[in-house]
Amino acid sequence: MKKKNHFTAEPPNMSNIGEANALIRELWTKLREYEDRLAQNSRNSSRSPASDTPQARAERQKLNALVAEIRLALSQATKGTADH
């Protein structure tokens, strides 16, 4: 089964601010879901302690950094649209 690609090569071109805001809300919700999943480990979920390998922790750290970058970019983008 092929993995679904959520993003295209180029960002979508929104024809109005309402469409852009809807897309931002959708992406923000998805980002929150990813953050919640990244925050889980064997201490705060039903996952086994074996799932907390050093490699898994390192991967979560990389993903957390990426999530922080995305959150910052979304924050700056929404701030820019609120000024107009």
Residues 21 and 28: their CA atoms lie apart, in Å, by: 10
The CA-based dihedral angle spanning residues 25, 83, 18, 5, taken in that order and rounded to the nearest 10 degrees? -40
Write the pLDDT tens digit of every residue in 52-81: 788 878 888 888 888 888 888 888 877 765
pLDDT band (50, 70, 90) for residue 1: very low
Q: What is the mean pLDDT of residues 38-48?
A: 77
Q: CB neighbours of 73 closer than 8 A, spacing ≥ 6?
A: none
Question: Residue 9: what pLDDT?
Answer: 65
